[in-house]
């Protein structure tokens, strides 16, 4: 029961942003993120004392680097020119990030919690996709006057939830047989269609990555190669169909943004170039946490961060932050690759389905204060942690 509750609470916390952007849930009289956080923390404490824990040595360096990175980014707030962005971002790094990292580690390590995490994530993705489809059918649009940055965030969060669900559904499909396989693959296709509706370009690419990677890791060998070939063929066929019949793309806002907003990629190139330039100007210790947007001439606007974790760490935290980021996030990837051969394929595939979309987002969007990135880091590192339930001792006979 503890494991199930912890898995569901972790999924809700990780995808609370996606749930809150859906029209029926946007009007909730309470903050879903805070509720999930308040429920998850005591459950993690119960999980900690009811399990025996063991960790691989390969996790020591990435975990130490992650902790030092959080500490250094807080220290770097001492010389930032920012007040508003730093005040918004630093509490997330200092308070939320450690909890999310530990949550990913613990929930990912416990078999029961991980199973419920995957099931709840799949359900949330399906619910978000259904709500988006319903919204399109009834002609729902974001309210007038809503900040364009908030609208883009809605696109991104909804796309990520759908992408994770599609990867998990693809796993279920390739692992099932007969009619069940057809049903799961049909769900993957429907989720793919849903990803075309909200306008999140990163989410669409993340969906393709998750659907290709997770089922391939589950089966391996020739089946994996065949699956990858099928995914690539279907993606190309769908793209060619829409190119030859552009009228079919009407109303698919993701494709409209891909075609009509080519400047989005140019804007990212501009932010990446500016981040690298200011990293060089600011010397070895960077601009200070939250200082990039001011230095780049955008003022106190958190949304105009470098859109790449490594470049953000370098620009705002200098060379120490970049080194720590590489050891933490890059080291986690290397540790996972090293450990995966000794683990059950299903465990590795579940983690891949949930981490791959976030990993892509980390490199092209979101900032170091985003709790989803830290949870994904913990989930990836959980491949090196074992949690075994402590069985109650039998009562002595009297």
Query: pLDDT tens digits, residue range 174-194?
Result: 888 888 999 999 999 999 888
Exposure letters 6-45 (e unless 16+ CB within 10 A, then b): bbbbbbbbbbbbbbbbbeeeeeeeeebbeebbebbeebbe
Length of the chain: 398
| Alpha carbon distance 346, 364 (integer Å) | 28
Average pLDDT value for residue range 289-297: 92
- Is residue 393 a part of any domain in this protein? no
State the pLDDT confidence band at 260, using cuts at 50, 70 and 90.
very low
| Alpha carbon distance 2, 6 (integer Å) | 6
Looking at residue 84, what is its pLDDT? 93
Q: Which two three-digit tokens encode residue 347?
A: 């465990």
- Is residue 155 a part of any domain in this protein? yes
Statement: residue 269 has pLDDT above 70:
yes
Please give the backbone phi and psi of residue 365, each rounded to the nearest 5 degrees, phi first.
-160, 180
C-beta neighbour count of 287 within 10 angstroms: 27
- Is residue 394 a part of any domain in this protein? no
- Is residue 206 a part of any domain in this protein? yes
Statement: residue 23 has pLDDT above 50:
yes
| Alpha carbon distance 92, 76 (integer Å) | 14
Encode the chain in three state secondary structure. CHHHHHHHHHHHHHCHHHHHHCHHHHCCCCCHHHHHHHHHHHHHHHHHHCEEEEECHHHHHHHHHHHHHHHHHHHHHHHCCCCHHHHHHHHHHHHHHHHHHHHHHHHHHCHHHHHHHHHHHHHHHHHHHHHHHHHHHCCCCCCCCCCHHHHHHHHHHHHHHHHHHHHHHHHHHHHCCHHHHHHHHHHHHHHHHHHCCCCCHHHHHHHHHHHHHHHHHHHCHHHHHHHHHHHHHHHHHHHHHHHHCHHHHCCCHHHHHHHHCCHHHHHHHHHHHHHHHHHHHCHHHCCCCCCHHHHCCCCCCHHHCCCCHHHHHHHHHHHHHHHHHHHHHHHHHHHHHHHHHHCCHHHHHHHHHHHHHHHHHHHHCCCCCCHHHHHHHHHHHHHHEEEEECCCCCCCCC
The answer to whether the CB of 108 falls within 8 A of the CB of 51 is: no
Query: pLDDT tens digits, residue range 116-130?
Result: 999 999 999 999 988
Percent residues over pLDDT 90 in the chain: 60
Residue with tokens 């404490």: 45
Looking at residue 303, what is its pLDDT? 82
Statement: residue 287 has pLDDT above 80:
yes
List the one residue out of 204, 12, 226 whose CA is nearest residue 119.
12
The answer to whether the CB of 39 falls within 8 A of the CB of 9 is: yes
Statement: residue 142 has pLDDT above 70:
no
Average pLDDT value for residue range 239-259: 54
- Is residue 133 a part of any domain in this protein? yes
Query: pLDDT tens digits, residue range 55-82?
Result: 999 999 999 999 999 999 999 999 999 9
- Is residue 391 a part of any domain in this protein? no
Geometric angle at alpha carbon 38, from 35 and 44, rounded to 5°: 130
Statement: residue 3 has pLDDT above 80:
yes
State the pLDDT confidence band at 397, using cuts at 50, 70 and 90.
very low
- Is residue 130 a part of any domain in this protein? yes
Average pLDDT value for residue range 230-237: 83
Looking at residue 396, what is its pLDDT? 45
| Alpha carbon distance 342, 330 (integer Å) | 20
24-28, 156-160, 279-283: which is most confident: 279-283
pTM across the whole model: 0.90
Cα→Cα distances 298→274, 302, 305, Å: 11, 9, 10
Cβ within 8 Å of residue 119, ≥6 positions away: 7
Longest dimension (CA), the chain: 82
Q: Which two three-digit tokens encode residue 309?
A: 């974790």
Average pLDDT value for residue range 99-118: 96
Number of domains in the chain: 1
Statement: residue 90 has pLDDT above 70:
yes
- Is residue 94 a part of any domain in this protein? yes
Query: What range defines the domain where residue 356 resides?
Result: 2-386
| Alpha carbon distance 68, 80 (integer Å) | 19
């Amino acid at each position: 029961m503890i494991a199930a509750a912890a898995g569901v609470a972790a999924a809700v916390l990780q995808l609370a942003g996606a749930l809150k952007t859906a029209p029926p849930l946007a009007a909730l009289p309470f903050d879903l993120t805070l509720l999930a956080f308040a429920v998850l923390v005591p459950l993690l404490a119960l999980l900690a004392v009811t399990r025996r824990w063991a960790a691989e040595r390969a996790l020591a360096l990435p975990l130490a680097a992650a902790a030092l990175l959080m500490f250094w980014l807080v220290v770097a707030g001492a010389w930032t020119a920012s007040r508003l962005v730093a005040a918004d971002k630093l509490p997330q790094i200092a308070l939320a990030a450690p909890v999310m990292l530990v949550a990913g580690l613990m929930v990912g390590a416990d078999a029961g919690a991980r199973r419920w995490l995957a099931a709840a994530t799949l359900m949330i993705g399906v619910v978000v996709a259904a709500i988006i489809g319903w919204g399109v059918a009834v002609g729902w649009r974001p309210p007038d006057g809503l900040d364009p940055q908030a609208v883009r965030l809605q696109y991104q969060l909804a796309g990520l939830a759908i992408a994770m669900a599609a990867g998990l559904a693809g796993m279920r499909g390739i692992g099932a047989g007969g009619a069940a396989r057809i049903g799961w693959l049909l769900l993957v296709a429907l989720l793919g269609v849903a990803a075309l509706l909200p306008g999140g370009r990163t989410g669409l690419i993340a969906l393709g990555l998750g659907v290709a990677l997770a089922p391939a890791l589950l089966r391996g060998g020739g089946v994996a190669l065949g699956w990858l070939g099928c995914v690539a063929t279907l993606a190309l066929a769908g793209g060619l169909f829409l190119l030859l019949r552009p009228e079919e793309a009407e109303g698919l806002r993701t494709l409209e943004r891909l075609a009509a907003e080519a400047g989005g990629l140019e804007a990212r190139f501009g932010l990446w170039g500016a981040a690298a330039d200011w990293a060089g100007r600011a010397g070895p210790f960077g601009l200070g946490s939250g200082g990039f947007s001011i230095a780049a001439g955008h003022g106190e606007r958190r949304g105009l961060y470098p859109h790449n974790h490594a470049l953000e760490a370098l620009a705002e935290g200098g060379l120490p932050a970049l080194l720590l980021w590489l050891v933490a996030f890059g080291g986690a990837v290397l540790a996972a690759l090293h450990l995966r051969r000794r683990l059950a394929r299903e465990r590795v595939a579940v983690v891949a389905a949930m981490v791959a979309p976030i990993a892509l987002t980390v490199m092209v969007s979101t900032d170091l204060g985003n709790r989803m990135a830290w949870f994904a880091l913990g989930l990836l590192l959980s491949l090196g942690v074992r949690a075994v339930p402590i069985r109650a001792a039998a009562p002595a006979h009297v």
